[in-house]
Structure 1
Amino acid sequence: MKAGQEYPADNYNKEKELAVNGVLENLKLLKAHIQSSTYDKIKKLGEAEGNASKVAIVMGLISMVAGIVISIFITLNITRPLSEIKKSTGEIARGNFPDDLKLDSPPEITELANAFNLMCAKLKQIDKLKSDFFSLMSHELRTPLTTIKEGTNLMIEGLENGKSTGKQKRLLTIISEESNRLINLVNSLLDLSKMEAGMMAYNFVPTDIARLINKVSREIEPLAENRNIKIHTALNNGSSLIKVDRDRILQVLRNLIGNAVKFTPDGGHVKVSSRMVEEGVNVSVEDTGAGIPADNLSTIFNKYEQVTLGGSNKIKGTGLGLSIVKHIIDAHGGKIWVESTLKQGSVFSFVLPV
């Protein structure tokens, strides 16, 4: 056309159409490429999002587990020493004063444990002073009380042979009975002091427990008959021969059977039984008294512990008998316990190893 020559329209149209088709084809290829690239990027973005979610979940789980572990560690680091302190507090309530509480814990609780140990040491010193005082006073009181008792007995014998009034005899009898009561109290204090100090001597010899039970039952039977109380025995004769300190086990039986009669109302009954068990010889003393409140069952064997029972608040004691009983049973390697139901009675049981 620039040369001034004619150019066929058909050729022009064909070339134009080819050019347009080429452009369109390139545009299609570009479109397809863009779409493919976009899809790939979206897919990669989705995969990245999925991976990020997994990483977030894993990190969350790791953080949660770490938090739980740290919480448990901190909790145990605090609750464990507090549990030890609580346990030691229970020992104090039972009359024991442990001063060896050592805790690996935060400084505040460590200071509390040190203060606790100091308190226990002071309480132990006070308890020892008290025991030493009672022991000393018991020794000092025994001789004059024995003298008073013997002098009173001589006066009673003299009055029986001569002239005397009923009032004089009654007063001397009261003096004699009270002297006996004080002497028994002094002896109990001395026995308990020796037991707590580990100075009580025991003479273990083969003994038939059934015979000891029969002996004590016969001793207490007159007192029971005066109040129409029946003492029943159910004994495992012949197979209860074990090594014990005869005098101390008699002391245990006199205390338990005597208490059963003391706290049983008139017309009631007391049952004493013995039988062989896997651990050794089991002895039980059952009464039909007023029973012991559940709150006092765990402390009934503590020294100076006295329980006011329904209908028996006029009956008083020293609070030493059951503590001495427990010391004797423990020294024999046995165990003692009590079961009781209010208004139905109590059962004191102990086991002595064969």
Structure 2
Amino acid sequence: MFIFLCILFVFLLIFYLLADINIFQSMQFVSFVGIGSFVLLIEGLLVGSLRELIDLSDETRQQVASLYEQQRELSQMKDQFILNVNHELRTPLTAVYGYLELLLEYNEQLEPSMRATFLKNAMYSSEELQLLVNNVLDTIQIGNEKEHLYVEELPVADVVYEVIEHFDPRRKQEYAIQMDIPSHLVVRANAQYFRQVLRNLLSNATKYAAHDTPIIVSAVLHGALVQRDHPSPEICISVKDFGPGIPPENISSLFGQFVRLQRDISGKVRGTGLGLYVSKQLIEAMGGKIWVESTGVAGEGSTFRFTLPCVPHSRVVAKGAANHFTREPSVVPVSNELHVSGE
């Protein structure tokens, strides 16, 4: 009886191998484990055990193949990220080093105005480097800081005005940055996170939009969210550009880690694929949401929007928050190309 069972086992095993020989090519270790278990159960239900072996092997092979593909994609993204960061770090570092070297070597021969220009350019490059380093570090730190995140009541117009005021002067000269924010809007947010998200979005807009086109930063009370599924009102801040736009098929993955559009990888637009990912993490840590709207049509551009919890207007007035504004809501010349308006 035992010999008969052994012969039957060999026959069924050969049939199985002929039907699915690939299992030994790609999953030898897993198949062997299954066969070992099968031999141990040889005095049990032979056919049933064989079917279980086949099912287990197929399922395991699919799981391992899926995990392998995920690891391969992650490895490729990390490799691309390292290359991007290497390039992004070199560019501002080279500029800083170059200007400082010129100052050190030709300081006495340079006119005061030229020395000031070199110092400003070195400072702008160092700020660009700082933003990059912050984005890289934030990918590690955000998760640890969520539970202890400090938030405060911040007038939206003040924060946006400050960010634009300290934005790269060269870019402000190349674009018509407009600000349209009612003066009474106040959010509960972390000031550092709020500023960094704005800097990331403005930096993105200036990378893609054509020179002399407007970039509009606006804010409204997002009442539609209250009517749907939000128990308290939120303020929606938007950054609108008129660049090439984003293909609709790429929007769903845009806020992923290390994600860059194929046109950017092969084009001249620099980046690490971290800015939008970090912005999403920062906004969600503050209890908001971030998304993008774009048709992908060149010239129509993109609108990045994010929400933050709103401080009710009655509380703002009662606490005197309206007095925090030192600017009138009319047009204020932050630079030659900045226009501020409000209500």
TM-score range, shorter chain: 0.5 to 0.7
Amino acid aligned to 1:223 = R
Q: CA deviation at 1:262?
A: 2.1
Q: TM-score, normalised by structure 2?
A: 0.55
- Candidates 168, 190, 193, aligned match of 2:137: 190
Show the 5 A alignment for 1:52-201.
123=70, 155-163=101-109, 184-195=131-142, 197-199=143-145
Runs (5+) with no aligned partner, structure 2: 1-50, 227-232, 311-343
SS at match of 1:198: helix
Quote the residue 2:303 is aligned against: 347
Distance 1:244 1:113, change over 3 A: farther
1:50-89 deviations in Å (ceiling 9; x for gaps): xxxxxxxxxxxxxxxxxxxxxxxxxxxxxxxxxxxxxxxx
Q: CA separation in 2, counterparts of 1:109 and 1:215?
A: 62
1:241-271 deviations in Å (ceiling 9; x for gaps): 2221101110000111221122110221111
Q: Which has the higher contact order (CA 8 A, sep 6+)?
A: 2
Q: CA separation in 1, counterparts of 2:124 and 2:158?
A: 29
Indicate conservation of the 8 Å contact 2:188/2:308, yes or no.
no
State the percentage of identical aligned residues. 27
Indicate conservation of the 8 Å contact 1:207/1:243, yes or no.
yes
Quote the residue 1:305 is aligned against: 259
Show the 5 A alignment for 1:207-222.
207-220=154-167, 222=169
Q: TM-score, normalised by structure 1?
A: 0.53
Indicate conservation of the 8 Å contact 2:221/2:235, yes or no.
yes
Asked if residue 223 in structure 1 is aligned to residue 159 in structure 2, the reply is no
Asked if residue 333 in structure 1 is aligned to residue 287 in structure 2, the reply is yes
Amino acid aligned to 1:246 = A
1:27-72 deviations in Å (ceiling 9; x for gaps): xxxxxxxxxxxxxxxxxxxxxxxxxxxxxxxxxxxxxxxxxxxxxx
Q: CA deviation at 1:348?
A: 0.5
Q: CA separation in 1, counterparts of 2:207 and 2:217?
A: 15
1:86-109 deviations in Å (ceiling 9; x for gaps): xxxxxxxxxxxxxxxxxxxx9777
Indicate conservation of the 8 Å contact 2:283/2:306, yes or no.
yes
SS at match of 1:299: coil
Quote the residue 2:248 is aligned against: 294
Q: CA deviation at 1:272?
A: 1.0
Q: How many residues align?
A: 237
Asked if residue 241 in structure 1 is aligned to residue 196 in structure 2, the reply is no
Q: CA deviation at 1:314?
A: 1.6
Q: CA separation in 2, counterparts of 1:271 and 1:242?
A: 19
Q: CA deviation at 1:223?
A: 3.1
Quote the residue 1:270 is aligned against: 215
Quote the residue 2:334 is aligned against: none
Q: State the structure with more CA Rg.
A: 1
Amino acid aligned to 2:105 = L
Q: CA deviation at 1:202?
A: 2.8
Indicate conservation of the 8 Å contact 1:232/1:272, yes or no.
yes
Distance 1:276 1:116, change over 3 A: farther
Q: CA separation in 1, counterparts of 2:122 and 2:187?
A: 41
Indicate conservation of the 8 Å contact 1:236/1:276, yes or no.
no
Distance 1:116 1:274, change over 3 A: farther
Distance 1:121 1:264, change over 3 A: same
SS at match of 2:164: helix
- Candidates 164, 185, 204, aligned match of 1:259: 204
Q: CA separation in 1, counterparts of 2:181 and 2:158?
A: 9
Runs (5+) with no aligned partner, structure 1: 1-105
Distance 1:180 1:198, change over 3 A: same
Amino acid aligned to 1:206 = E
Amino acid aligned to 2:303 = V
Q: CA separation in 1, counterparts of 2:171 and 2:125?
A: 21
1:261-315 deviations in Å (ceiling 9; x for gaps): 22110221111110112340101111111111111111111121112559x9322
Q: CA separation in 1, counterparts of 2:164 and 2:150?
A: 23
Amino acid aligned to 2:138 = D
